[in-house]
Structure 1
Amino acid sequence: MVNTNSPLIDLHRHLLGSISKDLLCNQISKYASTPLQKLLTPTQHEFLERTSYGRDLLSSFGKAESAPDIFQKFRSLLEFLQSYVAVSSLIRTEDDFAALVSEVLEEAAQEKLHYVELTISPTLYTGKGIPLEFILETLTNAKSSSSIMAQWLLDPMRNKGAEHAEALLQQILSISPDAFSGVSLAGDEESVPISQFRPYFELAKAHGLGTTAHVGERLTSKELELALELPLDRIGHGIAAVHSPIAHEVLMTKDIPLEICPSSNQQTGQISSLDTHPLVTLYNVGVPIIINTDDPFFFNTTIVEELSFASRLIGDEAVEEIKKNTQRYTFAG
């Protein structure tokens, strides 16, 4: 059983993926008169058309069947990303964004989190006309007024390319250098080679920011091994390390933890069941791991539930050890 008296920490959690059901219902109602297709960019619309699930999202939006649950009914990583894109289209104004930030932090407090790091992709919102300056001001103010300790991590979105990532970080540093405590990199691992993002991560380190990247989420280890040549403090997901003795050695030698997200891995089809999760092998060989939620709304989970899954696999004592170790891997400023 998870000890909730010791600090609960989540270091791999996305802002949009933490949207509350109440806010999502409000946003659906607010934009129900507009076809989802018109809320999306042409590229996003084409992306949703790639699967029957994505087409269902398009056709059902604004109807009774577009209740929040439909956004949790994906069966693969591709369908999850389609759902994520659809939900992102509902945050369109400054008020929408401010409400998202406020409610996510409020729900994190209700979850009894002691500390949370939330990843945000500003491009999702600036593309709808929300000024970057407003986004940064909102994040900074929310962090200082939150009832829990919260930090923000920048995700420039991998598919946008390495030049975009570096330019966005440079722009943010010139506007509000203290807005973020670290940087991340999420998105399709096959879109752009991780090695191209070295200047982005080096720029972050030069300004004292923590670094992490989503890599090795799928059970192939080549990209993960390449990522470990970069200046990274943590690895998002990284379960492909289970197949790589090379990765084991680097992760242990450099004390780089894997940000394990059990429910996410299962519900996106990366593992067949929680009982077969690679975290057991990774923990047993000595690879540093931490337990996280990833996207609490989409995966319908909490940090206590994720820790409970881990406890079932490796035991309460091991999970308490992981919880204690997690504190030293934060990017707290």
Structure 2
Amino acid sequence: MHSDLDADEAWERLRASRSDPPARADTGSRRKTYSAALEQAQQLFHAASVVGPATSPILAFYGLSQAGRAITAAAWSLKGGDWRLDTHGIKTTGFHLPFPDIEIRTDPSGTQGSFVKVSEVLDSPVWEMDPLRLEDVWDLLPPNLRYPLTTRKRLTPLYTVGDDVGVGTHEHSLLSVPVCDLPDRVIDAGTREALVDFLTSYPTVAQHESYVTTRTLSLGPEAPPDYTRYNHGGGELRMNWLMPEGVGTGFDGNATGVERLAHLRTLTRSYAGSRYFLPVLGSMKRELHPLMAWWAVLYTLSMLARYEPATWGTLINVDTSKYAVPIERLLERAINHLPVLIADTITEVST
């Protein structure tokens, strides 16, 4: 869905911001760090784009890490010296395990490691000693929807409409949007119970008030979900949420388009202009910000490439490894998607 993102335009946005840095990056050492870190990030991403998978994850990860320094330098929420980053703040273990089962951990909340501090700015969780599998984080990235690492049941982003939810008139007081990319296993089951069970991992979707059901009059309110199937697999379901109490400033007393869009934004995360419902993994209290999911995956791949080069060489060998093409596609998307996400994130933390 995002294969045509304009990385060059995003770098232009970021370069243009350096003459008048946003938010707290406008003066002093924060301004110097903002400009220098973005310059390094751009050069590292450019270098990653002209080499192969053997070394590109190292360059792409460090490009993202340097962009993280620009993000914290600009962030309104960080005062004093809290914007400075120290160490990676994230660790990987289990390189002897199958590729999808490599384990990822983070430093504790409140520390100055890059992953932890950027996560704090983005209201994104850390998970400390409770490990996540690489596959679980891999599946959080929208471009990986068509690139599963195993045949296990997946928890992937659920796409929904973007800013156009705020366009037009509405004759009801609900937020109503399609929830897309529901997996076949839920649609094939076809029951309300299967949907409820699946949505336990998607708390904001589980808060829905209702959804479109099949026209089975005998079942009344217990009628099953009326899914729309896709030709390529999966499908969608139109779902409804109650608007927050006190909202409804339209001339008819219903919520305005702007109010509906604002509520949708509280339920979803943005990814390069689109909005997604994301799952909450393990013991986390909320979903990972997409930038931090990219960070965790690229960090893991860069550690493999740096410290286990023979293993990495085997993984990216298209003649023998089933993971080679998914890895190649991920690294290609990193070059195109991350500049856009970085630019959007700087806007997010600066306003």
Scaled by the length of structure 2, the TM-score of the pair is 0.27
Higher relative contact order (CA 8 A, sep 6+): 2
Max Rg structure: 2
Scaled by the length of structure 1, the TM-score of the pair is 0.28
Greater share of residues in helix: 1
